[in-house]
Amino acid sequence: MALTRQDVTSRPRLGQRATRATSTTKLTRLTRLAQAVAPVAAAPPFARLAALCVGLVGIETLALLHLDAGSALALAPQVAAPAPWGVFHDERWLLTFAGNWFPLISGAVLLLAGRGVLTAAMVKAAWPATAEPLSWRKAITRGVTSTAVAALLLSPCAALLVAFSLAPISDLWLAAIPSAVGIAIFVHHGPVDCWWLRHPRLRSVGWVLLSYLELTVAGAVIVSAPRGWAPAIAIAAGLADAWAWRGFVRALARPARLRLAPISPLGLAGVVAVTVLGVTAAATPPSSAAPRPAPRTAVDATHHPERKVLLVSGYGVHWDGNPQSLGRGFSAREFSYLGTTGKGEPVAYDASATQQSLPVLLGKFRVQVSQLARQSGHHIDIVGESEGSLLATIYLLTTPNPPVDHVVLLSPLVRPARGSYPAPGETGSGFGAGWVLRGIANATNALTPLHVSADSPFIESLGSHAAALNQVFGCPVAGVQQFAVLPLADAVGVPPNALSAIPHETVSALHGTLLANPDVRYDVARYLLGFGAPRGTHNTAEKLATAASSAWQAPPLRLRADPPAKVGCEQATAALRAWLG
């Protein structure tokens, strides 16, 4: 049968059939995707906001669980938190892990763009229907600019927390977190309003503070509860973030006549001034030669031989050569960071002597312990504070059969070297934090009578030998009894369950102040005379502070949870001996 021209032109060719089949397949896939997204798009605004927050928190939680993360889990609820807590979350991750300029700059750009757009999406989803509509252009512009401002202002706080993970001295945490809260109060309204021209509303300030409390509780619960509960806790934290976003945005979007009031810049200036004064007061080096009060009650040492005790002060302390006393029954000698005279007497030293590297200090420590033990004719006791407690611990773990009976660790560095930053001119994790910390040190030296260094040999030796130092606290040593006294302020730097290794008590005090505390000296004297460790005090407050502070630390470089105590001690001891001999 003959074909007409119309039959030929109307019959689809092979290529046309394939194209139509492909188009049909794509159309089918798009239809299915639209059907899947339709319930979310058609859902009420809060449901979309909740889905976004829960999804983000859930993804980070599952990722950290997959990595077997420990305390870093506490940061997961903040990934969807209201401004500026989300920026603070991102910046701590960036400053902890960026190792050179390229990841630092590219990460900063990604933070600025990604967090800015995410903030805009959150604000749009939480925007009340009764308010004047907010365009995407305006929302993204405000989101990106407010992210840039918050990241710039919060970078010193984030860098201080990286330094805190390297040397867990509570002064760093207590300088960083109140400053971050003060900054949040004065810049949180940037995604919705002009923060530098308008003052924040009291209701929005309340939501920011409530969000801080919620994130603290969520972080404490997620690191303290069994790991199997983490997904459920993440869902609850995501819903709480969505609730805070809605309240926060509605408090700022509601119609009101607001006069131009540049209160925020003035408030930020006040936060900086208070922080500088607080850091100056906290970081002013004490003198170990200052008169120390006698114990509150004399310990009965009638039937006890005199104990020879080596007192080891902490970082930044200076000593003028005056002998110290623990009371009757004790002959105390100060460890000198400069060494001893030809007659074996400790030499007076200034604060700069405490900044030497750990190998150098350990050599001097071994010499002075041996000298005191020879003079006494028997074993001695050691009472070390802060840096001194770390020196004592390292000495015990690297010295076969040390001539020591008791060691008391005051203000111990429980988990040092969980973070790091490289020396100037070098690259490595914490690269950006190092440069921010050097800027803080230069500003502190210019504005205060202090001389602060972010790159002392002691700090450098902490960061370069994390594997040897991270797990040393509380490791048992045959024939030596150990006891620790922790200031309650230092509990903010202790991972959960890290204090269970040795007997300890917690007292209401600041870091580095325990040698001058008469109650602590009384407990130390009784312990050294064989009366045993005092009953633990403030344990409930210690556990609460430890759990609550987890959400506001920098993530550790080693994300995995701490190994069992025995395994950790074996690994740390092997690394110490390989490093120090």
Which alpha helices (DSSP H) does 225-349 contain, by range?
230-253, 263-283
How does pLDDT run across 76-123, given as a tens digit for each residue? 999 999 999 999 999 999 999 999 999 999 999 999 999 999 999 999
User: Model-level pTM?
Assistant: 0.86
Distance CA 403, CA 388 (A): 17
Q: Which of 24-28, 149-153, 277-281 has the highest mean pLDDT?
A: 149-153
Q: What is the pLDDT of residue 276?
A: 66
CA–centroid distance for 462 within its chain: 16
Q: What is the pLDDT of residue 101?
A: 95
Distance CA 334, CA 149 (A): 49
pLDDT surpassing 80 at residue 4: no
- Looking at residues 526-541, what average pLDDT do you find? 77
Looking at the DSSP bridge assignments, the partners of residue 482 are 407
How does pLDDT run across 172-208, given as a tens digit for each residue? 998 899 999 999 998 888 898 776 666 778 898 999 9
User: What is the DSSP pairing of strand 380-385 with strand 330-334?
Assistant: unpaired
Distance CA 492, CA 550 (A): 7
Which alpha helices (DSSP H) does 254-399 contain, by range?
263-283, 358-376, 387-398
pLDDT surpassing 50 at residue 330: yes
How does pLDDT run across 338-355, given as a tens digit for each residue? 999 988 899 999 988 999
- Looking at residues 360-366, what average pLDDT do you find? 95
How does pLDDT run across 245-281, given as a tens digit for each residue? 999 999 888 655 555 666 767 777 777 777 666 666 5
Q: How far is CA 90 from CA 257, 503, 559, in A?
A: 34, 37, 16
Over pLDDT 90: what percentage of the chain?
Answer: 53
pLDDT surpassing 50 at residue 27: no
Ordered domains of the chain (ranges, CATH)? 40-283 (no CATH), 307-417+465-580 (3.40.50.1820)
Q: What is the pLDDT of residue 485?
A: 93
Q: What is the pLDDT of residue 413?
A: 93
Q: Which of 82-91, 300-309, 452-461 has the highest mean pLDDT?
A: 82-91
Over pLDDT 70: what percentage of the chain?
Answer: 83
Q: What is the pLDDT of residue 449?
A: 66
Return mean pLDDT, the chain: 85
Block residue for tokens 């807590």: 85
Block residue for tokens 């199997």: 228
DSSP H/E element including 141? helix 136-166
* pLDDT tier, 42 (very low <50, low <70, confident <90, very high otherwise): very low
Q: Check if the beta carbon of residue 467 is closer than 8 Å to that of residue 571.
A: yes
* pLDDT tier, 34 (very low <50, low <70, confident <90, very high otherwise): very low
Q: What is the b/e burial string over 117-126, where b = at least 16 CB atoms within 10 angstroms of the residue's CB?
A: bbbbbbbbbb
Question: Which residue would you say has higher pLDDT here, 413 or 328?
Answer: 413
Q: What is the pLDDT of residue 285?
A: 53
User: The tokens of 20 are what?
Assistant: 């139509």
Range name among 159-168, 242-251, 278-287, 517-526 with the lowest pLDDT average: 278-287
Contacts of 30 (CB under 8 A, 6+ apart): none
Edge-to-edge strand order for the sheet containing 307-312?
330-334, 307-312, 380-385, 404-410, 481-487, 504-507
Q: What is the b/e burial string over 38-53, where b = at least 16 CB atoms within 10 angstroms of the residue's CB?
A: eeeeeeeeeebbbbbb
Block residue for tokens 């339709």: 38
- Looking at residues 484-501, what average pLDDT do you find? 86
Distance CA 248, CA 202 (A): 11
Question: Which residue would you say has higher pLDDT here, 368 or 16?
Answer: 368
The Cβ-side half-sphere exposure at 206, using a 13 Å CA radius, reads 8
DSSP H/E element including 335? none
Q: How far is CA 361 from CA 36, 112, 134, 164, in A?
A: 65, 44, 62, 22
